[in-house]
Amino acid sequence: MASIVSAKDAVAKISDRAVVASVGVIGWITPDAVLKALADRFVQTGSPRDLTFYFPCGTGDAQGIKGMDHVAKEGLMKRIVAGSYINPVDPVTGRRPELMRLIRENRVEAYSWPIGASMHWLREVARKSPGYLTKIGLGTYADPAHGGGKFTPRATDDLIRKIELDGQEMLYYPTWPIDVAVVRASSADEFGNLSWEDEALVSANIGLILAAKASGGRVIAQVRRLLPSDGRLASQTSVPGYFVDELVVEPDMMMTSETPFDPAYYSGKRLPLAELPRPVMSADKVIARRAAQEVRKRELSIFGFGASADIPLVMAENGLFDGSGARDYWFTTEHGSYGGVVMSGWQFSANVNPDAIMDGLYQFDAIDGGLCKFAALAFAQFDESGVVNVSKFGAANPGAGGFIDIAHNAERLVFTGTFTTGGLQTSFEGGKLNILQEGKISKFARQAESITYRVIDGVRERGQQARIVTERAVFDVTASGLRLAEVAPGIDVRRDVLDRMDYAPAEIAEPLPRMDQSHFIDTVGKQLVKENVDA
């Protein structure tokens, strides 16, 4: 039977040099109270020290729900292995996350793994396998030939190796034990049986629990409430209490940032689609409108952060989901929410009105199995050799998240983002784009700072189709390089496109079509709706 304790008491037994694993998805399912209690113990006592933290994806938002940023303290954190990192500017303090400072200043051993590997690795720990094997990530920054996922000079251990098996190169992630798993669920009974009935996601929680127990470790579960043991069906319980050591009850925990609690995220109620937020008119909205033309009916589509996450919202705004129309579009994200409408901002990763919520490890089985045929993903750089980068650029070190797995396995790819960054300002008038102030940095760099995915290899070797959508131009990725396929009305091709690239596209369409003027008008009506192509 699990013990019911305070967050302070739950972390009191964590010893120096322990491996502590936890998971959240931005603010979703982040066990913030327990992570904060661990940080508070270190500040007050100087103990525990030199911990290794394992986060399968970015846990917390470093703002209202700090998550992994709580434990970003020198002395407490010796090493961190994470599937993604969070790097927003706090609107109140104007500061970046403390964890980003530790990484930039080389104060910790920081490693970045693709989320797919970080999820599947837990399965290998749980079954006491020597390690996880995959071909996904070869040739990327996770490949030892390109850094092996090491994000700081202090990170010197080879946590990812390249081996040959049956004549094929593979990436090998050796396993190591987890001493403490800190998870979050909706509810528990007095025996510690856990369920996620009113959470928007499950993510890697179950994998973490099994990996820790197989390692001889402990499991701390933060829950919203306690239920009597006879208060629910056994089929509603996801984890038996035999695997849970301590329960921490936090009845007022936030669902995610800006959302104290909303049952629409697990379909405890259905949100009328007319109440969905409408993206403000901006370069991102233009990008989302144009990228929405690539979405097909009855094709499982997976969306990434940024302008890509706005695509379903502009589709809703343009009436494509009216009546039963939403049932014709099959949406998910890397974190396992299926159906309904993908949300953006701090609500990203969850869907409103979902039909199903899948465990995180199984979600990456689906992704790696190629079941998500279409993917819309952000990009930070796209270079002359056909490499896309989202993992490390300038002072940002976000890692790949699920990008590598998604991009490698989808049949059709759309990369979304503004053409330049660092001060870009735009306006829209008469169905035309006006660039009021150009961004300081072109995203079309001669050489990407990090290799997140080799798009050109997917196009040449596996027949992938890939397109880049920006606010001013659309490119197709061909076997010979980029082909400029469309430009925005109001844009001068030479001044605003070609001269803003560090390299020339391999081809320019002749004649060069203009992007649809409707994308640049700040009104919505049925006259702007275009029927999308059936899959």
Question: For the segment 27-63, what is each residue's pLDDT rounded down to a tens digit?
Answer: 999 999 999 999 999 999 999 999 999 999 999 999 9
Q: Are residues 475 and 373 in the same domain?
A: yes
Q: Are residues 222 and 339 in the same domain?
A: no
Q: Are residues 235 and 103 in the same domain?
A: yes
DSSP 69: G
> Taking residues 117-134, what's their average pLDDT?
98
List Cβ neighbours of 385 (8 Å cut-off, separation of 6 or more).
Answer: 447, 454, 456
Q: Are residues 429 and 288 in the same domain?
A: yes
Does residue 219 lie in a domain region? yes
The answer, yes or no, to whether residue 535 has pLDDT greater than 80, is: no
Average pLDDT, the chain: 95
Active-site positions read 334
DSSP 159: S
Q: Are residues 409 and 500 in the same domain?
A: yes
Does residue 265 lie in a domain region? no
Does residue 352 lie in a domain region? yes
| φ, ψ (nearest 5 deg) of residue 508 | -125, 125
Does residue 89 lie in a domain region? yes
| φ, ψ (nearest 5 deg) of residue 18 | -75, 160
The answer, yes or no, to whether residue 398 has pLDDT greater than 60, is: yes
List Cβ neighbours of 414 (8 Å cut-off, separation of 6 or more).
Answer: 291, 294, 308, 374, 375, 376, 377, 466, 467, 468, 469
Does residue 382 lie in a domain region? yes
Residue 307 confidence (pLDDT) = 87
Q: Are residues 240 and 311 in the same domain?
A: no
pLDDT in tens, 258-312: 999 999 999 999 999 999 999 999 999 999 999 999 999 999 999 998 889 999 9
Q: Are residues 242 and 283 in the same domain?
A: no
Residue 529 confidence (pLDDT) = 37
Q: Are residues 358 and 237 in the same domain?
A: no
Q: Number of folded domains in the chain?
A: 2
Domain span including residue 452: 273-519
Q: Are residues 144 and 39 in the same domain?
A: yes
User: At 222, which CATH number?
Assistant: 3.40.1080.10
Does residue 263 lie in a domain region? no
Q: Are residues 134 and 237 in the same domain?
A: yes
